[in-house]
Amino acid sequence: MVQNTRTNLVRYQKVIIIMLFCLVSARLLAQTGSLEGFVLDKSSNVALIGATVSVDGTSQATISDVDGRYRLTNVKAGFHFLKVTYMGYIDSKIENVQIFANKTIQINAMLAESEIAIEEVTVSTKRRAGSEASMISAIKASQLVTSGISSSQIQKSQDKDASEVIRRVPGVTINDDRFVIVRGLNQRYNNVWLNNSSTPSSEADVRAFSFDVIPSGMIDNLTVYKSGAPELPADFSGGFINIVTKNIPDTSFIAIDYLTGYRGSTTFKDFKSFQGGKLDWLAIDDGTRALPTGFPSDWSNVESNAAQMNSLTKKFQNTYAISANKARPDQKIGITLAKRMKLGKVIIGNMTVLNYSNSNKCYSNNNNAFATYNTDYDTLTYKYKYVDRVYCNNISWSILHNWGFVFNDRNKIEFRNIFNQNGFTRTSVREGQFLENFRDERSFQERFMSRTTYSGQLGGEHSFRQGVTKLNWGLGYSLANRDEPDRKVMVSSKDENTGKYQFIINQGNPQPNFAGRFYQKTIETILSSSINFEHKFALNMIVPTLKAGYFGEFKNREFTARNIGYITGSQFSTYPDSILYLPVDKIFNQENLDYNSKISIAEQTNKSDSYSANNRLFAGYIALNIPLFYKFNIYGGIRAEHNDLNLSSFKQDQPDVPVKVNNKKLNLFPSANVSFNITRKTLLRLAYGRSVNRPEFREIAPYYFIDFERNASFRGNPSLKDADIQNIDLRFEHYPANGETFSFAFFYKKFVNPIEAVISNEGSGKSFTFANAAGAVNYGVELDIRKVLSNQGFLQNFSVVANGSLIKSLVMFEGDEKLKSHNRPLQGQSPYIANVGLFFNKANTGLTISALYNVIGKRIYAVGIVNQNNDSDIPDEYEMPRNIIDFTIVKKIGRLVEIKLGIKDLLNQPVEYRQIFSFTNKNGAAQERSGNTNYYHPGSVYSIGVSLKF
């Protein structure tokens, strides 16, 4: 009995223990949590759509959505392995992921592209930075306020270079066909990098990178950053532009493109040109225009030595003859060689692109200048009134040669090179009146200019611990060489007694702007280096990212100019004046050259006509990115820049007095970018940053130069100060569907000491210099829309891209400045900008049609002069709006051939610069009158092209 009782007790104990164990196990099994996060491209942070996320060893799995977001629920508490897969990317296995009961944790997966895997399959989902969808995804995923354009959209237009491509970006316009203006702020307030390295300025007179040196076919994508960040240079307020050229191709191929164009105002019409060199077709002077061998570096060594003067004068080539031919159609040819190969486990890619273009342009320009308005007779008072007939041949050829080496998913090295040779020959024939002296004039200018630009970068990207830590570095070298040899100017005036034109050549004292030859050369080089470090931390449910880096840049410029003029000898009065009436190609024949009795060379070069300058910049930054509660993202930090600018030259009016500029400063530039994800498709951004605008070399150089086309002089100002800018951005973004966007932005900028081009009172013509205003504000709104018209039916083939900006600025003056200034917009700022593109694309027929529209509001070209009497003001000079429409049809024929038809600048509206005079009439009523300072029609271009791809 006792034994049975004990046996039963043991059985009961076992049953109780089993029941307790089951209850505890059930309780433990009921303890589950949730897991969520994003699947992102490790190199770009772009969301990956359709990635598989699974808990290893279980059947629990899910797919990432259009934002790259995933969510797994009812995951057992404890430690797990998380597996993330996506075609074209290396699988990621995240170890020791701890799930807590009744809690949600966030784990973001960063996947690396699998170059080797892609090599072995026919179809891949590798992200293409050049597609419109990837560009939109990158903008959405960016921590900053950005805009951009992809190579896919570029291919739908006729845009031939980066200057035409970038004007399709919201808030961006182009000045003088090559200088970028962002949010109404002119080129000086923007910064341009090529492949993450700074670019040189190939212009002698302005601070700017010439966008026309980058052919559109070489661009993979172009991004405009509109808010500051610690890793970006502080020297921008309008926009920071990064152009990325094509590099590693998906496959090997050869492509040949050819295009010819007819310009309505030029092609097959009379076209005048002067004698050049044998290499002009390559935009290279072969030495034809060089100073004669043995020409002295110091003219004072030969001055007044008749024998030497005669010998030197006769060494100059008489290339003044102007010939007339028929203008040929525009030509453009491009060859692309793409190679993708595998050496062991290393993927090697090479992209080589060669482009050549030759185009002609002819137009008549009404070129005028005004004095103060004649209120007594209610009429314009002209200083001069000219009609310029301009014939210009433009040459451009370029080579892009890029290499990429992908060693594995963690290490990549790229070597990028782009070389561009760009130039023109221009013949200008001017007729009109110089009314201050009541003189009828006929003038000639023969001009050749070439620009050589090279930019090379060697860089590497490396990641460690599955992308937790990243390191990238870069070395850059850039060269800009602007050469303008032997620019010839000859001015003649009408003899009222004979009715003939007589060339103006002074006795003893040369005036090169009336009869002279000019030589200018600018060489600018840039050496740069950078290192950027990034590390992610896992802090419970927050994964912050620490960034730090360094950037160094050494920029050097050498500028030289020689001003050679013609004079008549001391005994010229005894020689018949008839040689001054000779045609321009006869007057400098050998028999008309003599130091004493006829014509000879003299020089009027001052020490101020040359300068040397350099700029050293060293920068470091630290930043932190903090994602909060799946909704907020805070990215902020600080950048320190030590800048040392130096320039050496001489005063223009006191040639022996040296000018030394040394501007050395250390500045701190804080910035913050906050984004809030309202929904999966909608977000709000708020950004703040401090920036700086430093004077450019030319703007502080005392060099004095007369521009024949503008009939105006330009002079630098060594007293210019840095401008300080505070920037605020607020932007709402909505992404309704793949490839579609809607954004609305507000921006505000406050300037202290903004730098502007202003009109100055010097001489009888127009004169320009640079000056600081006391302060200014600039604010506005931007709208950007990309929309497919319908998801089905015929309209699904149509899409529209529209963006526009409304901008207002106000320059503020204090104290005595109020007496000589007036409220006005910033120089170069446009009050409105609009871009609209309508696209038709039917993939199964290979047909694409696009119509593009662009317009800007009137903007100040140069600031006027305010006088004590308002009726005596010299008003601001405005560039007036012009509507531009481009039309393109592209048709694919089979797999190899593509035909492109296009019309560029269909409306051919005039390029117009205008001054608007305000005054009070005799009855006390306010009046306005206007006059054009420049007015011409550039001409529409009709083109046809064919592309072959093998």
pLDDT tens digit sequence for 443-477: 999 999 999 989 899 999 998 877 788 999 999 99
pLDDT of residue 115: 46
pLDDT reported for residue 209: 63
3-state secondary structure of 871: helix
Q: What is the token pair recorded at 868?
A: 């004590």
* Distance from the Cα of residue 786 to its chain's centroid: 23
- Looking at the DSSP bridge assignments, the partners of residue 751 are 725, 776
pLDDT of 19 strictly over 60: no
Contact assessment for residue 745 and residue 781, using Cβ atoms and an 8 Å cutoff: yes
Model confidence at 215, in pLDDT bands (50, 70, 90)? low
Q: Specify the pLDDT at position 114.
A: 63
What gap in Å lies between CA 290 and CA 448, rounded to an integer? 12
DSSP structure class, residue 826: P
In this structure, the dihedral spanned by the alpha carbons of residues 917, 920, 921 and 925, taken in order and rounded to 10 degrees, is 120
DSSP string, 77-109: SEEEEEEEE-TTB--EEEEEEEEPTT-EEE--E
Torsion angles phi and psi, residue 883, rounded to 5:
-85, 130
For the chain, state the CA radius of gyration.
33
Contact assessment for residue 81 and residue 109, using Cβ atoms and an 8 Å cutoff = no
Which of these, 208, 219, 148, lies nearest to 176 by C-alpha position?
Answer: 208
- Identify which of 272, 260, 442, 489 has the alpha carbon closest to the alpha carbon of residue 363: 272
- Report residue 212: phi and psi, to 5°: -75, -5
**Which stretches does DSSP call E strand in 183-285?**
190-194, 197-198, 219-225, 239-245, 253-263, 270-274
Q: Strands 190-194, 239-245: parallel, antiparallel or unpaired by DSSP? A: parallel
Q: Give the pLDDT confidence score for residue 679 in this predicted structure.
A: 84
Helix (H) or strand (E) holding 408: strand 382-408
C-alpha–C-alpha distance, residues 165 and 182, integer Å: 14
Q: Which of 351, 482, 365, 361 is nearest to 432 (CA)?
A: 365
Give the pairing of strands 109-111 and 911-920.
unpaired
Residue 129 has pLDDT above 90, yes or no: no
Residue 125 has pLDDT above 50, yes or no: no
- Determine the average pLDDT of the residues in 259-270: 93
Q: Residue 14: its pLDDT value, please?
A: 54
CA–CA distance, 181 with 239 (Å, rounded to integer): 8
Helix (H) or strand (E) holding 14: helix 2-30
Q: Give Dmax over CA atoms of the chain in angstroms.
A: 159
- Distance separating alpha carbons of residues 190 and 101, to the nearest angstrom: 53
Res 132 pLDDT > 70:
no
Q: Would you give the distance in Å from CA 526 to the centre of its chain?
A: 17
- 874 contacts: CB under 8 Å, gap ≥ 6: 372, 759, 761, 864, 865, 867, 915
* Assigned token pair, 299: 């003219």
CA dihedral 194, 200, 205, 207 (to 10 degrees): 60
- pLDDT above 70: percentage of residues in the chain: 83
pLDDT beyond 50 at 120: no
Q: What is the pLDDT of residues 650-680, one digit of tens each?
A: 887 787 889 899 999 999 999 999 999 888 7
Whole-number mean pLDDT of the chain?
82
Examine the pLDDT at 817 and tell me if it is beyond 60.
no
Within 168-248, strands assigned E span 172-175, 179-182, 190-194, 197-198, 219-225, 239-245
Which structure tokens are listed for 37? 């996060």
How far is 97 from 82, CA to CA, in rounded Å?
7
Cα separation, 524 vs 515, whole angstroms: 30
Start-to-end CA distance of the chain, whole Å, equals 99
So what's the pLDDT on residue 767?
75
What pLDDT is recorded for position 361?
94
Provide the whole-model pTM: 0.78
- Residue 70: the pLDDT is 86
**Phi then psi dihedrals of residue 792, to 5 deg:** -150, 165
948: nearest Cα among 254, 155, 331:
254
